[in-house]
Amino acid sequence: MIPERFEYFAPRSLKEAIELLARNADAKLLGGGMSLIPALKHRLAAASALIDLGRVPNLEGVSERRGKLTIGARTTHRALAFPGELDDVHVIRETAGAIGDVQVRNRGTIGGSLVHADPAADWPAAFLALDGEAFVVGPKSERTIPAAAFFTGMLASAVRHDEVLTEVRLSVERKRAGTAYAKLRQPASGFAIVGVAAQVTLDGKGRIERAALGVTGVNPVPFRAAALEQRLVGQTPDLATLRSLCARVEEADPMEDLHASAAYRAHLVGIFAMRALIAASARAAA
Ligand SMILES: Cc1cc2nc3c(=O)[nH]c(=O)nc-3n(C[C@H](O)[C@H](O)[C@H](O)COP(=O)(O)OP(=O)(O)OC[C@H]3O[C@@H](n4cnc5c(N)ncnc54)[C@H](O)[C@@H]3O)c2cc1C
């Protein structure tokens, strides 16, 4: 399909991108284009102008300071899936590497994925489990949006039309801690039918001191499995205990579509929570 006509801008600075956004009420920012371009082509979305972030400096790359990972919003899935400095933060590589196919990973970006807020997208699970923050810059001010307030509905985020998401910040525990992402992928697209990201910290006796679980693909809006997180505290992360504790994920109110019934998703969310917890706990103990 051919999209409606739009103007194309390639700003060279963040300031210029924000000014272009302010001047064009129906404009959209272009990240990797992996969600926006298909939506425009299918005429599920329209834009009078596309403002390409590809030439805006300082929007890509990863840095770490005092347990906070900062990832530029235009960092591609591929860059995050590659072996490198984030090797010990397994949830990042596992999430990035599980997205779509190689073409999608080469172009798609973490920032575009979060703002697009597809209910079957992978990044929202890790963003929630690692107590993420989104740093956004607008025409008059900048602000930080915590993950808990970021996803406001199906395909809707708290980032306003006149704002650019510039950085994603994630809290990574390193002492007696481990992370993991477990996912059932839709075979054709790779999108998550169910995806669970876990960060687990163990105490000196090998019991769970803290668990954080981000869930995607299940509800119209991704969520933290807060009730299960509470039940896990003080427990030994062996298979029998985790299987029994994960049998219920109270916050799950599953969607139903041609890929999975609500009942099947309700069943799967416990299974994939258990798998993510087993892997994260083993890494924490190692
Ligand atoms: C065949 C196929 C398979 C896929 N499989 C998966 C999968 O398995 N898992 C998965 O999670 N995703 C999957 N995707 C989606 C893919 O991950 C996209 O890369 C992602 O959803 C959007 O990122 P993007 O950079 O391409 O954003 P774009 O498509 O460029 O933009 C998406 C939205 O975000 C806005 N936006 C982009 N960047 C910013 C920014 N910095 N600040 C503010 N707003 C911004 C845009 O205006 C637009 O509204 C798939 C896509 C395709 C085409």
Residue with CA at minimum distance from ligand 1 atom 46: 29
Close Cβ partners of 96 (under 8 Å, ≥ 6 residues apart):
77, 78, 79, 80, 81, 105, 110
Residue 281 has pLDDT above 90, yes or no: yes
The residue whose CA is least distant from atom 23 of ligand 1 is 112
Torsion-angle region of 33 (φ positive above 0: left; ψ -120 to 50: alpha; else: beta): left
When the pLDDT of each residue in the chain is averaged and rounded to a whole number, the result is 96
Query: Residue 169 has which token pair?
Result: 């910040």
Amino acid at 213: L
Indicate which atom in ligand 1 lies nearest the CA of residue 185: 8
pLDDT score for 218: 98
- Based on its alpha-carbon atoms, the radius of gyration of the chain, rounded to whole angstroms, reads 19
Is the beta carbon of 137 within 6 A of some atom in ligand 1? no
Spacing, Cα 111 to ligand 1 middle (Å): 8
Q: What's the CA gap between 76 and 141, in Å, rounded?
A: 26
3-class secondary structure, 34: coil
Mean per-residue pLDDT for 75-93? 93
- Distance from Cα 87 to the centre of ligand 1, integer Å: 24
pLDDT above 70: percentage of residues in the chain: 100
Which of 9-23, 78-92, 174-188 has the least mean pLDDT?
A: 78-92
Mean pLDDT of the region 187-197: 96
| pLDDT, tens digit, 9 for 90 and up, residues 112-161 | 999 999 999 999 999 999 999 999 999 999 999 999 999 999 999 999 99
In one letter, which amino acid is 87? D
Q: Is the pLDDT of residue 234 over 90?
A: yes
